Structure 1
């Protein structure tokens, strides 16, 4: 079964998934928040997801950032809609900066590097990767 991670934003949600053996995190897509339930409904018809991993925006001191309330609402929606799939929160501080750095070093054309959706999917992949790494050290 796969793990699925979300980099939630009010304009876009970056989504990443693992392979079925949960070895590699892969960027999947970026979608508008209004279409997330429709997307998940279609995706879960053909793929099994063991856990949802959601990036939680935090300030440098570890407290919730201003956008955290939107993420909390998203988590509530996931739990209500898919009560059998656990939802795990991961600190997402610096993931957008890390994603931008990875993209800048990737060799992509400048126009492609500046696509905001690309940052969101790479951020979701970093969130998923950090969750997978933390799980392996426990």
Structure 2
């Protein structure tokens, strides 16, 4: 089985979450969060990670709206994806992340309710 060397990016305006693949293509683990300052610094940090992990492909979260359309943030992510792909000379794929924020918020609320109940 060929090793999968993918780097996952969750691109925001102020921060970018970076995750690495375990080599099987099944499990991604958070590596770091890049505080976005300016393009050259974003690229420098990503280049370091790409070189260290010998990355072959980028997997970029695309925040579709719940109805499946692309909003302004998704369009900004698409511009970023095209530009970073050319700059790093790596192919990329999108992953639909429309429910990840909703799921994360629900999990945090559940954890808070659970921890509150157990403090009594």
Question: Normalising TM by the smaller chain, what interval?
Answer: 0.7 to 0.9
Q: Which residue of 1 aligns with 2:11?
A: 8
Q: CA RMSD in A?
A: 2.1
CA distance in 2 between counterparts of 1:2 and 1:21 reads 8
How far the C-alpha of 1:75 sits from its partner, in A, is: 0.6
Higher relative CO (Cα under 8 Å, sequence separation at least 6) belongs to 1
CA distance in 2 between counterparts of 1:18 and 1:105 reads 28
1:51 correspondence with 2:54: no
| 1:27-47, Cα deviation, whole Å (9 max, x unpaired) | 111112333211112112321
Taking structure 2 as the reference length, the TM-score comes to 0.75
Structure 1: which 5+ residue stretches go unaligned?
A: 111-138
1:27 correspondence with 2:30: yes
The worse-fitting range, judged by mean Cα deviation, of 52-61 and 18-27 is 18-27
How far the C-alpha of 1:23 sits from its partner, in A, is: 3.7
Which one of the candidate residues 71, 74, 93 is aligned to 2:77? 71
Structure 2: which 5+ residue stretches go unaligned?
A: 116-120
Larger Rg: 2
CA distance in 2 between counterparts of 1:74 and 1:50 reads 18
Q: Which residue of 1 aligns with 2:103?
A: 98
How far the C-alpha of 1:62 sits from its partner, in A, is: 0.7
Taking structure 1 as the reference length, the TM-score comes to 0.67
Q: Contact between 2:47 and 2:88, CA under 8 Å: does it hold in 1?
A: no
